[in-house]
């Protein structure tokens, strides 16, 4: 655990089949005006909307609705949400949905009392929050992003063709999140497996980085082994409660800051995937899956030690008689087979990307220090071409 | 992750060589009167006392001292601390020391405004906290108990010969904890390895329980593998920063409620060890080590599935050609060898227990539902005899 760090994660989680009971407890802490944020309306079909409205009404709250949050929430929608929250004088923003809805709610929460423009301050200049933040609570209906227990909020600027995640501090973390695995049952299989890979990728972005083996790496391996096991069960039987609940819990711990402690990271798979998302509007987890193999096979020599450990510990590769590189490559091969077996999209073409887009996507791909290799523009282009 | 549960762990952790800088930040949040709680005075020898006093003085605080907290804090000492905290009108109780000092500080914190008797309400009737709690902060100088990030507080009643841990809710968790691995360097090796086994035992109490394999079990395996690896390094080189820091971080996550989620537990090794502690005043981690092998070998048939998994995943036992029981036993054997190799005390006789004490210790051993087997009085006696 090299370096100095702080850890503070105050979000209260209510987990299980009765988790929504926790909403009643939490609502006592906030004023009358609730901005209810949700997406395309699937929560009206599966009954979750009615359950939430019934609790809000029982608790005497005045509900202002902000529907239509899209899978990749846009800057325009964010500005609309800020206006709604101001008009409602919202005491609490209640997000009911998946990671996009939670991300959007957090982005609104930090912008309500902001004097400047949220895109300029957070997504362009990456400034810290200096104004009052409206509290956010989440009722999760889709699993993967970990947004229910962190300060992240990804927003897409269609005009600039940029999809950028800003990571806020603990003051922007949801105050509470309601995690009922059964609320995720009605999700189409395509979305479920995209979520599974989003989780896996979150863990890998933090794990495939650094030479020293610290406690975070060991926890990450445990999370990956649990996820793979549960995903294999859930793909066959999407209503296996135990499998879906383990996936849900793993998602939360994959990206609530814990397994990044003592590590540096560059989040390059997300940088590539988010650039693809800005051009294609494809499902986030699938954009990550599509660039994974070309990217990891390219950086493998730079992080050989860790790729080898990954192969042995997570994929059970037997190192006997193999070179380190052979072991590491066998691990990636095992992951590739697993990704195909659960139904992930393994190329960008199937997500709507075309060779003509590569230049633009490469331009939109950010890079950071902290991983095994800072990619050059040429390397990014090459990896994207191989991902088509 | 079966069953409903909540998770909320609001303690802010400052970790690393500069962690004490966090104390200045935190002190801003509290009033002038600080009750400074510590143990036998080793912090005066190693310079930590001076560093803390200097920061308190710099921040303009008025310091009231409560020294002499013993390794197994007594009920009498607790009452003394409550009187001191009341007299000081403490705005913050700052614990500087190991788990005993942190536990004691928490026990004082919930008793200052209590009308009744803390032993009666918390350690006898196990009631919930209904009164105001004085905030607690910790500067950790010894690793093992996890007290820096949980609501636990173990107190020994010498008159009744009972050592009992009460687990309080999140309102009693330390508000902040300062974790500088270098602060643990001066600890004698005996105490260091006792702390290592306390950590291992915390993980095992939660892991060796239940039939279903949930995410908590996978995280537990990661923590154990990290701990074993780092302990082996630290035993050879106690000032290996990386090893000591991983041990410190593992200790926190071994007992901050995370890996108990979705599980039932009976904490029977602690029940046995704490009863031994009430009779011998021996170091906590050593009492746990001394009863471990007789206890686990006895309950192995009741939790065979998990003991087998433990052997394979944590100790690398190859199951080929072995029965499940042989695999499970090989795992325990490997753990026994490891325990000896790091210098743990493997029997109660070396801790000062005598055959004449067995009846009394057995009487003082509590049992709970939640594990693989609720021990009878006869079984407890038998296990204690085998531990002599």
Residue B361 lies in a domain: yes
Q: Answer yes or no: do B222 and A220 touch at CB < 8 A.
A: yes
**pLDDT of residue A283 exceeding 90:** yes
Q: Answer yes or no: do B222 and A226 touch at CB < 8 A.
A: no
Tokens of A359: 């230049």
Question: Pick from B183, B205, B221: which residue ends a domain?
Answer: B183
Give the closest of A1, A18, A246 to B214, CB-based.
Answer: A246
Q: What does the pLDDT read at residue B108? A: 97
Q: What is the 3-state secondary structure (H, E, C) of B259-275?
A: HHCCCCCCCHHHHHHHH
Whether A13 and chain B come into contact, CB under 8 Å, resolves to yes
Calpha distance A14→A26 (Å, rounded):
10
Calpha distance B11→B146 (Å, rounded):
12
Residue B211 lies in a domain: yes
Q: What does the pLDDT read at residue A123? A: 87
ipTM given for this complex: 0.95
Give the closest of A19, A219, A250 to B223, CB-based.
Answer: A219
Output the domain CATH number for residue A321. 1.20.1090.10
Which range has the worst mean pLDDT, A85-99, A151-165, B215-229? A151-165
**pLDDT of residue A94 exceeding 90:** yes
Residues B319 and B175 in one domain: no
**pLDDT of residue A128 exceeding 90:** no
Residues B139 and B204 in one domain: no
Residue numbers of A between 287 and 306 with CB closer than 8 Å to B? none
Distance to chain B for A47, nearest Cα, Å: 21
Tokens of B12: 């802010």
Q: Answer yes or no: do A11 and B8 touch at CB < 8 A.
A: yes
Residue B4 lies in a domain: no
Q: What does the pLDDT read at residue A124? A: 86
Residue B226 lies in a domain: yes
Q: What does the pLDDT read at residue B130? A: 85
Q: Answer yes or no: do A212 and B242 touch at CB < 8 A.
A: yes
Phi (first) and psi of residue A14, to 5 degrees: -110, 120
Q: What does the pLDDT read at residue A75? A: 95
Residues B257 and B383 in one domain: yes
Question: Pick from A156, A183, A210: which residue ends a domain?
Answer: A183
Mean of the pLDDT values across residues A232-243?
A: 97
Residues A369 and A233 in one domain: yes
Mean of the pLDDT values across residues A283-290?
A: 96
Residues A135 and A195 in one domain: no
Among A215, A227, A262, A312, pick the best mutation site for testing chain B contact (most B Cβ within 10 A).
A215
Q: What does the pLDDT read at residue B192? A: 96
Whether A315 and chain B come into contact, CB under 8 Å, resolves to no
Q: What does the pLDDT read at residue B127? A: 84
From residue A30, alpha-carbon distances to A51, A66, A134, A135, B295 in Å are 19, 19, 10, 9, 50
Mean of the pLDDT values across residues B331-336?
A: 98
Phi (first) and psi of residue A172, to 5 degrees: -100, -10
Q: What does the pLDDT read at residue B230? A: 98
Q: What does the pLDDT read at residue B64? A: 98
**pLDDT of residue B319 exceeding 90:** yes
Q: Provide the residue range defining the domain that includes A329.
A: 189-387
Residues A131 and A242 in one domain: no
Residues B249 and B372 in one domain: yes
Q: What does the pLDDT read at residue A278? A: 87
Calpha distance B233→B278 (Å, rounded):
32
Residues A338 and A270 in one domain: yes
Residues A368 and A318 in one domain: yes
DSSP annotation of A364 = H
> Total domain count for chain B?
2
Residues A327 and A363 in one domain: yes
Average pLDDT, chain A: 95
Q: What does the pLDDT read at residue A125? A: 84
Whether B253 and chain A come into contact, CB under 8 Å, resolves to yes
Helices (H) and strands (E) in chain B, counts: 15, 8
Q: What does the pLDDT read at residue A367? A: 95
Question: Which residues of chain B have a CB within 8 Å of the CB of A217?
Answer: 226
Q: What does the pLDDT read at residue B126? A: 83
Output the domain CATH number for residue A142. 3.40.50.1970
Calpha distance B334→B338 (Å, rounded):
6
Whether A12 and chain B come into contact, CB under 8 Å, resolves to yes
Among B8, B215, B216, pick the best mutation site for testing chain A contact (most A Cβ within 10 A).
B215
Q: What percent of chain B has a predicted confidence (pLDDT) above 90?
A: 91
Whether A62 and chain B come into contact, CB under 8 Å, resolves to no
Q: What does the pLDDT read at residue A210? A: 87
Q: What does the pLDDT read at residue B206? A: 97
pLDDT digits (tens, 9 = 90+) for A343-366: 999 999 999 999 999 999 999 999
Q: What does the pLDDT read at residue B265? A: 94
pLDDT digits (tens, 9 = 90+) for B187-210: 999 999 999 999 999 999 999 998
**pLDDT of residue B37 exceeding 90:** yes
Q: What does the pLDDT read at residue A37? A: 98
Average pLDDT, chain B: 95
pLDDT digits (tens, 9 = 90+) for A179-217: 999 999 999 999 999 999 999 999 999 999 988 889 999
**pLDDT of residue A376 exceeding 90:** yes
Phi (first) and psi of residue B166, to 5 degrees: -105, 135
pLDDT digits (tens, 9 = 90+) for B99-137: 999 999 999 999 999 999 999 999 888 888 889 999 999
Residue B357 lies in a domain: yes
pLDDT digits (tens, 9 = 90+) for B147-174: 999 999 999 998 888 888 888 999 999 9
Question: Which residues of chain B have a CB within 8 Å of the CB of A12?
Answer: 6-8
**pLDDT of residue B240 exceeding 90:** yes
Residue A114 lies in a domain: yes
Question: Pick from B183, B202, B232: which residue ends a domain?
Answer: B183
Residue numbers of A between 221 and 250 with CB closer than 8 Å to B? 221-223, 225-226, 229-230, 241-242, 245-246, 248-250
From residue A22, alpha-carbon distances to A137, A179, A242, B165 in Å are 11, 10, 21, 28
Residues A302 and A378 in one domain: yes
**pLDDT of residue A19 exceeding 90:** yes
pTM: 0.95
Alpha helices in chain B (DSSP H): 21-27, 42-45, 48-58, 75-88, 99-109, 118, 189-207, 215-236, 241-254, 268-280, 284-299, 304-315, 324-341, 358-364, 377-387
Instruction: Name beta bridge partners: A138.
Output: A95, A177
**pLDDT of residue A321 exceeding 90:** yes
The residue in chain A having the minimum alpha-carbon distance to the alpha carbon of residue B5 is A15
Q: Answer yes or no: do A249 and B13 touch at CB < 8 A.
A: no
Tokens of A262: 């003592």
Q: Answer yes or no: do A22 and B6 touch at CB < 8 A.
A: yes
Whether A29 and chain B come into contact, CB under 8 Å, resolves to no
Higher-confidence position of A122 and B231: B231
The residue in chain B having the minimum alpha-carbon distance to the alpha carbon of residue A178 is B6
Whether B10 and chain A come into contact, CB under 8 Å, resolves to yes
Mean of the pLDDT values across residues A18-24?
A: 97
Residues A153 and A264 in one domain: no
Whether B318 and chain A come into contact, CB under 8 Å, resolves to no
β-strands A5-15, A176-179: how paired? parallel
Q: How confident is the model at residue A72 (pLDDT cuts 50, 70, 90)?
A: confident
Residue A7 lies in a domain: no
Whether B256 and chain A come into contact, CB under 8 Å, resolves to no
**pLDDT of residue A162 exceeding 90:** no
Mean of the pLDDT values across residues B339-344?
A: 98
Residue B5 lies in a domain: no
Q: What does the pLDDT read at residue B271? A: 96
């Amino acid at each position: 655990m090299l370096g100095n760090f702080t850890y503070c994660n105050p979000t209260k989680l209510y987990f299980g089949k009765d988790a929504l009971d926790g909403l009643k407890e939490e609502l006592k802490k906030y004023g009358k005006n609730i901005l209810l944020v949700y997406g395309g309306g699937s929560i009206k079909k599966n009954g979750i909307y009615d359950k939430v409205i019934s609790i809000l009404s029982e608790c005497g709250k005045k509900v202002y609705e902000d529907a239509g949050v899209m899978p990749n929430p846009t800057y325009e929608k964010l500005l609309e949400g800020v206006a709604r929250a101001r008009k409602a004088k919202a005491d609490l923003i209640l997000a009911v949905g998946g990671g996009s809805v939670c991300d959007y709610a957090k982005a609104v929460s930090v912008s309500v009392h902001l004097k400047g423009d949220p895109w300029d301050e957070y997504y362009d200049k990456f400034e810290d929050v200096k104004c009052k933040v409206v509290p956010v609570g989440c009722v999760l209906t889709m699993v993967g992003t970990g947004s229910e227990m962190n300060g992240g909020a990804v927003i897409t600027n269609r005009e600039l063709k940029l999809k950028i995640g800003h990571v806020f501090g603990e003051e922007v973390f949801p105050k509470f999140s309601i995690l009922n695995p059964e609320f995720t049952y009605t999700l189409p299989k395509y979305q479920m497996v995209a979520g599974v890979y989003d989780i896996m990728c979150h863990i890998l972005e933090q794990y495939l980085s650094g030479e020293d083996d610290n406690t975070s790496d060991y926890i990450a391996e445990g999370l990956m082994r649990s996820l793979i096991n549960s995903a294999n069960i859930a793909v066959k039987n999407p209503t296996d409660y135990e499998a879906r609940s383990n996936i849900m819990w793993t998602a939360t711990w994959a990206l609530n800051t814990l397994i990044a402690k003592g590590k540096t990271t560059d989040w390059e798979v997300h940088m590539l995937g988010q650039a693809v998302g800005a051009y294609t509007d494809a499902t986030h987890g699938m954009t990550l899956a599509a660039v994974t193999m070309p990217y990891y096979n390219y950086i493998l020599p730079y992080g050989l030690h860790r790729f080898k450990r990954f192969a042995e510990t997570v994929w059970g590769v037997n190192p006997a008689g193999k070179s380190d590189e052979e072991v590491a490559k066998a691990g990636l091969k095992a992951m590739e087979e697993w990704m195909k077996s659960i139904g992930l999209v393994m190329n960008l073409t199937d997500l709507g990307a075309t060779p003509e887009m590569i230049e633009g996507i490469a331009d939109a791909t950010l890079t950071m220090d902290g991983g095994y290799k800072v990619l050059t523009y040429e390397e990014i282009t090459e990896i994207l071409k191989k991902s088509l």
